[in-house]
Structure 1
Amino acid sequence: MLIEIKVPTPGESITEVELGKWLVADGDLVEKDQEVAEIESDKATLTLSATESGQIKIQIQEGERVAVGAIACTIDTSFVVERKPEKEPIASELFVKPQEAVVSEPEKKSVAKAAVKPEDSNVKVTPVAREMMEENNLSMDEVLSGLHRISKGDIEAVLALPKIDKLTSTSSVSGVPFAEPVEAKAFSREEKREKMTSLRRKLSERLVAVKNETAMLTTFNEIDMSRVMEMRTKLQDKFVGKYGLKLGFMSIFSKAVAEAMQFHPTINAQIDGEEIISPEFVDIGIAVQTPKGLMVPIIRNTESKTIAEIEIELKVLAEKARTKKITVEELTGGTFTITNGGTFGSLMSTPIINPPQSAILGMHNIVDRPIAVNGQVVIRPMMYVALSYDHRIIDGKDSVGFLVKIKELIENPERLLTSGRNPEEILLGL
């Protein structure tokens, strides 16, 4: 029986996709639910799975753009796919297999040392590499077999090495010993070219459009992270025990953003032609770096969720983005974006707006720095934050005020429970 596997629709607004990469070869035997290809859309990379087991016949080539619903491949189910045993063989089945000799750890290391001798081959082995091979019981053949195939560049690099006989430290002229010659380093002049994915092309277009179509400015501030870090350290074990995951800074900042929006709603607004749209909800996009590029999953109605709920949803969405399981709907929309360059060590940057949104918050690396507190110089863990915004709709007063409110909430995390207000003022009815 021949089964047709068609290109699925990533989302309602997408009618065309690109076959990014085949994960199997034409004629391979595949199992049911096995991932066989990657589908590239303008917003996400999705996987195509086999609906039945059998032999696959590829109909679309890599890099080809096709309409949603086109036949990507067929599967001939008349070919039987032998599945791997799901259980260990029983004792009665073991007699047909050769019994492996039981070797103690010292014996294994001695065997490994014997197999690692560099003098048995012409391959030089550094002391560190030799020690690693011994620790992992790897022979020279096993290491060499795991290397990449020999290329033109490798051959040219060998031919470029100087034809000098190896000198030992005992060689000398007039009693002065020679030092061993320095080995020439291999180098290459080759170039690698690969086609940009649909996601990368779309991202490039959007970034250029933002620079050309918005009046983007960036304002900065710095936040003392002491209180939040103390809270996180103090309650981390209880948080993990209750929710099964660690508390991060992103969920806390997301909640702070949602609260700060109540004081500066224009940060959450968008321009649509000659109209201004002001949502009464806060849908925050969290920038996630994936092997295929930057993706921004959306946490909807952040203003109505607790920090724990935000943290849980963020983990689920980020994992789906990295494993290409996320849907276009989960990447669509959003009224504001947060990006954290601090995870890569960035001290300060100017994040770029994610249209049609009007602003984006950039978090950065936490660094101990001397600051003045009550007339005294103290060392505190500080983070620079940046707010890039579209000056066509957001005034400087609101942009600066919004960032100051974020600073107040993070430096006084108890205010996240009082909608950003001073608890003492609430107590006194002010």
Structure 2
Amino acid sequence: MATEIRVPTLGESVTEATIAQWFKKPGDAVNADEPLVELETDKVTVEVPAPAAGTLENIVVNEGDTVEVGALLGAILEGAGAPAAKAEEKKEEAKTEPSSGGESLKAADPVSVVVPSAGESVTEAEVGEWFVKVGDTVNADDTLVELETDKAAQEVPSPVAGTVVEISQETGATVEPGQVLCKVAPGDGAAAPASDTSEKAASAKPAAAQPAQSTAMPPAPSAAKMMNEKGLSADQVAGSGKRGQVLKGDVIAAVASGINAAPQASQSPASARAPSAPEDEAREERVRMTKLRQTIARRLKDAQNSAAMLTTYNEVDMKPIMDLRKQYKDIFEKKHGVKLGFMGFFTKAVTHALKEIPAVNAEIDGTDIIYKNYAHIGVAVGTDKGLVVPIVRDADQMSIAEIEKEIGNLGRKARDGKLGMADMQGGTFTISNGGVYGSLMSSPILNAPQSGILGMHKIQERPVAINGEVVIRPMMYLALSYDHRIVDGKEAVTFLVRVKESLEDPQRLVLDL
């Protein structure tokens, strides 16, 4: 049985290290906890001990190479193992082995790619989309597969360059940390076998999109299917996915914008008749619900079932904030390196109101009420995977500039699928901005176990009466959904009024009023 040797955790801010020196070579006998290799980081030097007694079977990375935390270093064959002479013999055979055909896969033992640990409370994941198939050549750190948990999606990179020789888990399978996903035979990965290349060419779809593919990744399966149905090529559709991948939504947007396929033969009037039920079914697409989407659905329904949820509404005149933003946005961006948006003002206004109405910042635990003397504000972000809520921690102690920087950083991580568990845990209150999508009014659902969520909406010019005169002002509807078990109506209305007052008179935020 082979035991893998991996780069250990090197510290909170250290993500990579350099191989300084190997103390053993393949075929050497090792004892448990005996130093095998020395790693150097910009802060410390670390010796990696043997995880088991046996024989050092292989070394995946060489001295001077840079590796990331969790990367595979080599493997130990537990027990007596093969003598050193045989290991050296095997190494020489690998060097002289012909490189043509499938025999190149025997040059080195395959490296197992396992399910990484996704966080303390995550015990399983679901296998999402595979970006490779058996026979594909990959480089180190190329994405092999995407794993979906109930919190986020995670890409699994290849630990070495080589050829994919086995895929152990199919899309949709439930896996646990440490379970083998696939195996990669180490190699330069520069050229795939000729037979493999011909197979790829034969299996390629006849759509014109493939030769002119301009994105770094092939279209998503659902997108490729729709492009074939619409007769579109990949160079006609702009991809919005990771590394430019074309998603189904991109194809829908392209069709909606008026992009057409090559002219087709005119159809007879009979072909425009209403389709039958079997024809409708043939044009439908059944897509597996992701683990994240299942969790979102369950949590939102649980919140409705468990909380006595009620929503109160108000409106805010956005002209003071808009005037302030217009006056100082250039100076603000020049000094702080981030654009001045509305979320900084709203987050700051919310933290001021939470101090006055602490019940909105509390939660129920059994028969107890837990009052939070801090404000960790969740900011709802829509992604192609679903809604996620990263947390701005201690927002009450941050300036508007610091809040804007943190929101921008979390938003980028959310869109890139790089949010960690720590980024989404511990929130005390949530802000949801449906206005970016054009929503004029909505009733947001609580993010349990929180007791309050503020819904922002579209800014729209409306006639309002000010000092006895009707004027046109940029107005926004605000909605506060709250748990009536812990928050009284008077407290909810007062909270929303305090948010309104702070936004309509921004000086209150500066003076802490």
TM-score (norm 1): 0.74
Aligned residue among 90, 110, 113 for 1:2 = 110
Residue in 2 aligned with 1:105?
Answer: none
Question: Alpha carbons of 1:186 and 1:231: their partners in 2 closer, same or farther (altered >3 Å)?
Answer: farther
C-alpha distance in 1 between matches for 2:129 and 2:273? 35
| Residue 374 of structure 1: how far off its partner (Å) | 0.7
2:302 aligned with 1:194, yes or no?
no
Per-residue CA shift, 1:221-257, capped at 9, x if unaligned? 0000001001111111112212233111112101111
Once the two structures are superposed, the pairs formed by residues 231-246 of structure 1 within 5 Å of their partners are 231-246=324-339
Size of the aligned set, in residue pairs, is 331
Residue in 2 aligned with 1:162?
Answer: 268
Aligned residue among 264, 268, 292 for 2:361 = 268
2:336 aligned with 1:230, yes or no?
no
Kindly indicate whether the alpha-carbon contact (under 8 Å) linking 2:430 and 2:454 is maintained by their aligned counterparts in 1. yes
2:161 aligned with 1:53, yes or no?
yes
Question: Letter of the aligned partner of 1:31 in structure 2?
Answer: N
| Residue 13 of structure 1: how far off its partner (Å) | 0.7
C-alpha distance in 2 between matches for 1:235 and 1:28? 53
Unaligned runs of 5+ in 2: 1-108, 192-235, 237-250, 253-263
Per-residue CA shift, 1:253-310, capped at 9, x if unaligned? 0111111111101100000111111111100110000000000000100000011111
C-alpha distance in 1 between matches for 2:273 and 2:324? 51
Residue in 2 aligned with 1:20?
Answer: 128
Kindly indicate whether the alpha-carbon contact (under 8 Å) linking 2:140 and 2:161 is maintained by their aligned counterparts in 1. yes
Question: Alpha carbons of 1:2 and 1:250: their partners in 2 closer, same or farther (altered >3 Å)?
Answer: same
Question: Letter of the aligned partner of 1:320 in structure 2?
Answer: K
2:171 aligned with 1:62, yes or no?
yes
C-alpha distance in 2 between matches for 1:418 and 1:239? 19
| Residue 26 of structure 1: how far off its partner (Å) | 2.4
Once the two structures are superposed, the pairs formed by residues 402-417 of structure 1 within 5 Å of their partners are 402-417=495-510
Question: Letter of the aligned partner of 1:368 in structure 2?
Answer: E
Question: Letter of the aligned partner of 2:181 in structure 1?
Answer: A
Question: Letter of the aligned partner of 2:443 in structure 1?
Answer: T
Secondary structure at 1:380 match in 2: strand
Once the two structures are superposed, the pairs formed by residues 26-425 of structure 1 within 5 Å of their partners are 26-56=134-164, 57-77=166-186, 79-82=187-190, 161-162=267-268, 189=280, 190-419=283-512, 421=513
| Runs of 4+, deviation exceeding 4 Å | 183-188
| Residue 82 of structure 1: how far off its partner (Å) | 2.8
| Residue 2 of structure 1: how far off its partner (Å) | 2.3
C-alpha distance in 1 between matches for 2:273 and 2:329? 48
Residue in 2 aligned with 1:180?
Answer: none
Secondary structure at 1:271 match in 2: strand
Unaligned runs of 5+ in 1: 84-132, 134-146, 149-157, 165-182, 422-430
Question: Letter of the aligned partner of 1:63 in structure 2?
Answer: G
Question: Alpha carbons of 1:54 and 1:260: their partners in 2 closer, same or farther (altered >3 Å)?
Answer: same
Could you say which structure has the greater relative contact order, defined with CA pairs below 8 angstroms and 6 or more residues apart? 1
RMSD: 2.3
Residue in 2 aligned with 1:116?
Answer: none
| Residue 163 of structure 1: how far off its partner (Å) | 7.3
Secondary structure at 2:181 match in 1: strand
C-alpha distance in 2 between matches for 1:241 and 1:225? 24
Question: Letter of the aligned partner of 2:362 in structure 1?
Answer: A
Kindly indicate whether the alpha-carbon contact (under 8 Å) linking 2:137 and 2:190 is maintained by their aligned counterparts in 1. no
C-alpha distance in 2 between matches for 1:227 and 1:407? 11
